[in-house]
Amino acid sequence: MKSLIVLAGMMGCGKSTAGELLSKKIGYEFIDIDKELEKSENMSVTNIFNEYGEKYFRKIEKLKIFEYVNRKNIVMALGGGAFEDEETRKILKQHGVVIYLKATPECIFQRIKSEIHRPLLRKNFSVDSIAFILKKRVNNYEKAHYTVDTCGKTPDDVVDKIMRIIK
Ligand code: S3P
């Protein structure tokens, strides 16, 4: 089994939930890149966006990912936009196995409609706005090594599927 397992995909596709569960099952450390950024910046992701802008967020997000690529026995949940960066895709694919957790805009909407902390969706939160972002990103998400469908699946189902892929 690879010592770096990376979960990519849109916000609300279940990366953090599945990632944490998977890490416990295989005895790896779980690293949620958003959470790590919040710790090192001592600020929420929303506040980083508000105070310093998306460009700054993308820069520190990339640096944070690079900080972990050589660590052993890690399950890493990316933020939804992290896999847009070409160099990031390349290094993650070289060092680990990358799994795209796929979900439809409707399914994502249902999962995150009660959450308000996602800066990219704060102004216009709808199935259409999620579909708009997904359409721009899907080509890159599909560059992951594997895809796992998460719609209508429990976190346990998703993790079982991932475990069959990575074993
Ligand atoms: C983002 C997704 C968020 C977070 C930031 C930007 C995106 O992470 O990194 O708000 O660009 O899709 P999650 O995918 O964990 O929600």
User: What is the reported pLDDT for 116?
Assistant: 66
pLDDT tops 90 at residue 126: no
Pick the residue with more confidence: 110 or 123? Answer: 110
Q: What is the mean pLDDT of residues 47-71?
A: 96
DSSP E strand stretches across the chain: 4-8, 29-32, 74-77, 97-102, 146-149
Q: Which atom of ligand 1 is nearest to the CA of 137?
A: 12
Note whether 54 and 133 are within 8 A (CB). Answer: no
- Looking from the CA of residue 12, the nearest atom of ligand 1 is 16
This prediction has a pTM of 0.95
Please name which of 116, 80, 104 lies closest in space to residue 152, comparing C-alpha atoms. Answer: 104
- Model confidence at 122: pLDDT above 80: no
Q: What pLDDT, on the 0 to 100 scale, is given for residue 121? A: 67
Region of 29 please: left (phi>0), alpha (psi -120 to 50) or beta: beta
Q: Using the 8-state DSSP alphabet, how is residue 146 labeled?
A: E
For 51, the domain range is: 4-166
Question: How many CB atoms lie under 10 A from the CB of residue 156?
Answer: 11
Average pLDDT over residues 23-35: 98
- What are the backbone angles phi and psi of residue 164, rounded to the nearest 5°? -65, -35
The protein residue with its alpha carbon nearest to ligand 1, atom 2, reads: 80
The stretch 32-57 carries a mean pLDDT of: 96
Q: Does the pLDDT of residue 58 top 80, yes or no?
A: yes
What CA–CA distance (Å, rounded) separates 105 from 151?
10
CATH number at residue 13: 3.40.50.300
- Could you tell me what percent of the chain has a pLDDT over 70? 96
81 pocket-lining for ligand 1 (C-beta < 6 Å): yes
Mean of all residue pLDDT scores within the chain:
94
3 close to 72: Cβ distance less than 8 angstroms: yes
How many structural domains comprise the chain?
Answer: 1
